[in-house]
Amino acid sequence: MEDFNRDRRIPINQVLSSQYCRCLDTAKLLNLGAVQPYPMLNSIFEDRTTATQQNQEVRQQIFNHRNTSGVIVMVSHFAILAKLVASVRSREKQW
């Protein structure tokens, strides 16, 4: 990933990660910059009570970044990604 990024000169603005060890390790191993633990990216697999709030926070983070240079790299879990994709698909159906 580091070589992929360096070869394409993609500016990395932030590297955000779930607070769980494997995600933090993966984010650090990508070697794309300082890794910031971000609770909104924590797994919701076992406890979905915060799923909607976390989804809204992730979406807001992406929305707030839209006019900022560079990209945000987020390292998270399947359950978070699935919830995010499902919310985008449901909005597409409304259009």
| Model confidence pLDDT, tens digit, residues 15-73 | 999 998 899 999 999 999 999 999 999 998 888 898 889 989 998 998 999 888 889 99
For residue 66 the two structure tokens come to 């839209």
Written as one string, the DSSP assignment of 20-79 is: SHHHHHHHHHHTSS-EEE-GGGS--SS-GGGHHHHHHHHHHHHHHTTTSSSEEEEE--HH
Domain ranges for the chain: 2-88
Q: Which CATH superfamily is domain 2-88 in?
A: Phosphoglycerate mutase-like (3.40.50.1240)
Report which of 2, 1, 38, 44 is spatially closest to residue 17, judged by C-alpha positions: 38
Is pLDDT larger for residue 79 or for residue 5?
Answer: 79
pTM value?
0.80
